[in-house]
Amino acid sequence: MSAFLDARTLPDRTVLTPDLAIIGGGPTGISLALALAHTKLNIVLLESGGMNFDPRVQSLYAGSESGVPYTALEAGRLRFMGGSSNHWGGYCRPLDEIDFEARDWVPHSGWPIGRKHLAPYYPRAQQLVEAGPWVYDDSGAAVTAAKGAALELGKGGLYTSWFQFSKTRDSVLPTYFGHRYEADLKAARNVTSYLHVNVTGIRLAADARRVDRLDLATLEGKHFTVKPRFVVLAAGGMENVRLLLASNDVMTAGVGNQNDLVGRFFADNPIPRDVATLVSFAGPLAQYYGANTTMDNGAIMRAVFSTTRHYCESQRNVGSLTTVEPAAELDEAGKAAVITTALALGVDASNARAYSLGCGMELLPDPDRRLTLTGDKDALGMPRLKLHMTIADEDFALYRRTLAELGRQLLASRAGMLRISYSHRDEWMKAMDWGHHHLGTTRMSADPKSGVVDADGLVHGLGNLYVAGSSTFPTCGASNPTLNLIALTLRLADHLKTVAA
């Protein structure tokens, strides 16, 4: 059967027996369903919300926090079809090769797969996020040729890289996966999407080697059972944890939590604001620095300063993406710095312009940055989550060093100079914002001792439960996750085509 069904209209105690149950209708779940559409697999997509925001459903996401201030758990994600893509920013950029590698200066780093394993899936992921032709760093030269010269950077640790953006539908918003792919899902005869239904438990067989069934509930009090051959948990980087930990009837620590790893290593990309002031000696920067710029081929581009592999390796640093933001004013000391430096370098700075800089940082993995369950229950009786958030002084120090290197490179090319805004932790914290990228909580590892899932996303020790999405990223890089998690999901789809056929 192919349809969008309102689960509230099903008879109570309905039992479904699909080949595959996908839990969650966000970008991950939808991409997986689309990749397996028109196959012989009988698939159910189980989505907690409807097609639009409903405060009652959204409140199921509420939780608590400790540690450094972080976005409230119910504010940083959306619980209806399309998930958080209903308010995402559409920033896309593939992870860099080094992001997948074990780096001896980054504890707990190293994916069991490399970028080459995702490479075949990026083109389709790029289509799904509707980011136009694959341009990124491959054709940055074409952008500068068409839209004006890039700010020259001297040889060093950073280079001009590129974001692409989810094609802004109706010229305004990035792809909302629920609405955008509703028709495609409905057209897939082997996929049935159940809306308004919550998975409340992942029940294992007594030998703890397979999922036997899923417990489902509506807010109206109906209960259903799904007995699938395979399950993919795609409920987002926080909710995946909640479901695994709360399903503790057979594995008492929670499903997949035999090594106390589920919920640990939570990560996000910090995006502190106004981290520096960049002065361009020659005057205004090309438009593609501060704003999204549409190319003739439809790609929407924005320049960003990224760290090179050589820099990260030689300086034992991590990834970051530094963006140019609105124009800034200089104080008298700033003007003196610019005049004095420009005169020293023999550069004409009479037309100089200053800009604020923003960034997205890679956080060092921290096992104590974690999600746990609390005694509080939601309307379905599910224990609520608590997030303990951390950010280390080292995280700020590493990024600060990268900013200093960018400043040096600007001087080396005589193109400009840079002022770093913050030195102390409290200054950084005051400027702090987060990407709302929920990563790392069911990390991928070849060794069950250091990860929750294997290289295919299969929960270690189980034969038919997979986890998909950015919760499987062992390290997060600085790139925004969605393009990457979709590529990873498409890889999982290929795997499932083989194992579930």
Partner 1 sequence: MTFLKGQNPQGGPARRTMIAALVAAATAAALGVYRFTNLMVKHYAPTPYDDLLAHLTDREQAARLGAKVTGAFDARREAATLRAALGSRTFTAAATADIAAGRMTEVDGWVLPQTVVLLSALASRV
Ligand X SMILES: Cc1cc2nc3c(=O)[nH]c(=O)nc-3n(C[C@H](O)[C@H](O)[C@H](O)COP(=O)(O)OP(=O)(O)OC[C@H]3O[C@@H](n4cnc5c(N)ncnc54)[C@H](O)[C@@H]3O)c2cc1C
Residues that bind partner 1 (CB under 8 A): 154, 276-277, 332-337, 339-341, 343-346, 403-404, 407-408, 411-412, 417-421, 423
Nearest to 152 by CA among 331, 380, 410, 408: 410
Nearest CB to ligand X, comparing residues 175 and 421: 175
Query: What residue is closest to ligand X based on CB?
Result: 26
Residues 461-480 that bind ligand X (CB under 6 A): 469-470, 480
Nearest to 37 by CA among 142, 193, 172: 193
DSSP-derived secondary structure letter, 7: G
Instruction: Indicate which single residue of 362, 472, 481, 491 sits in contact with ligand X (rule: CB under 6 A).
Output: 481
Nearest to 64 by CA among 365, 389, 358, 330: 389
User: Three-state SS string across 103-129, please?
Assistant: CCCCCCCCCCCCHHHHHHHHHHHHHHC
Asked if 241 touches ligand X (CB under 6 A), the answer is: no
Nearest CB to ligand X, comparing residues 280 and 472: 472
Nearest CB to partner 1, comparing residues 393 and 427: 427
Q: How far is the CB of 140 from partner 1 (least distance, A)?
A: 25
Question: Would you call 145 exposed, middle or buried from its count of C-beta atoms within 10 A (0-12, 13-18, 19+)?
Answer: exposed
Asked if 233 touches ligand X (CB under 6 A), the answer is: no
User: Three-state SS string across 361-410, please?
Assistant: ECCCCCCCCEEEEEEEECCCCCEEEEEEECCCHHHHHHHHHHHHHHHHHH
Q: How far is the CB of 420 from ligand X (least distance, A)?
A: 25
Q: How far is the CB of 158 from partner 1 (least distance, A)?
A: 13
Nearest CB to partner 1, comparing residues 214 and 354: 354
Asked if 175 touches ligand X (CB under 6 A), the answer is: no
Nearest to 256 by CA among 22, 460, 473: 460
Q: How far is the CB of 50 from ligand X (least distance, A)?
A: 10
> Are the C-beta atoms of 199 and 23 separated by less than 8 Å?
yes
State whether residue 86 is helix, strand or coil: helix
Task: Work out what residue 411 binds among ligand X, partner 1, none; the CB cut-off runs from 5 to 8 Å by kind.
Answer: partner 1
Task: Work out what residue 173 binds among partner 1, ligand X, none; the CB cut-off runs from 5 to 8 Å by kind.
Answer: none
Asked if 198 touches ligand X (CB under 6 A), the answer is: yes
Tokens of 151: 């700010």
Nearest CB to ligand X, comparing residues 27 and 63: 27
Report the amino acid identity of residue 358. Answer: G
Binding to ligand X by CB under 6 A, coded x per residue (else -) over 56-95, reads: --------------------xx-xx--xxx-xxxxx----
Residues 437-456 that bind ligand X (CB under 6 A): 437
Task: Work out what residue 85 binds among ligand X, partner 1, none; the CB cut-off runs from 5 to 8 Å by kind.
Answer: ligand X
Question: At a CB cut-off of 8 Å and minimum separation 6, what does 172 contact?
Answer: none
Task: Work out what residue 132 binds among ligand X, partner 1, none; the CB cut-off runs from 5 to 8 Å by kind.
Answer: none
Binding to ligand X by CB under 6 A, coded x per residue (else -) over 88-127, reads: xxxx------------------------------------
Task: Work out what residue 346 binds among ligand X, partner 1, none; the CB cut-off runs from 5 to 8 Å by kind.
Answer: partner 1
Q: How far is the CB of 24 from ligand X (least distance, A)?
A: 3
Q: How far is the CB of 33 from partner 1 (least distance, A)?
A: 49
Task: Work out what residue 181 binds among ligand X, partner 1, none; the CB cut-off runs from 5 to 8 Å by kind.
Answer: none
β-strands 276-280, 353-361 pairing: antiparallel
CA dihedral for 351, 356, 360, 364, sign (positive or negative): positive
Cα angle 116, 120, 121 (rounded to 5 degrees) comes to 110
As a whole number of angstroms, the distance between CA 242 and CA 467 comes to 13
Nearest CB to ligand X, comparing residues 421 and 475: 475
The residue count for the chain: 501
Tokens of 154: 């001297």
What DSSP element (H or E) covers 335?
A: helix 332-345
Nearest CB to partner 1, comparing residues 344 and 501: 344
Asked if 26 touches ligand X (CB under 6 A), the answer is: yes
Note the residues at the interface with ligand X (CB under 6 A): 23-29, 46-49, 76-77, 79-80, 83-85, 87-91, 198-199, 234-236, 239, 243, 436-437, 469-470, 480-482, 485
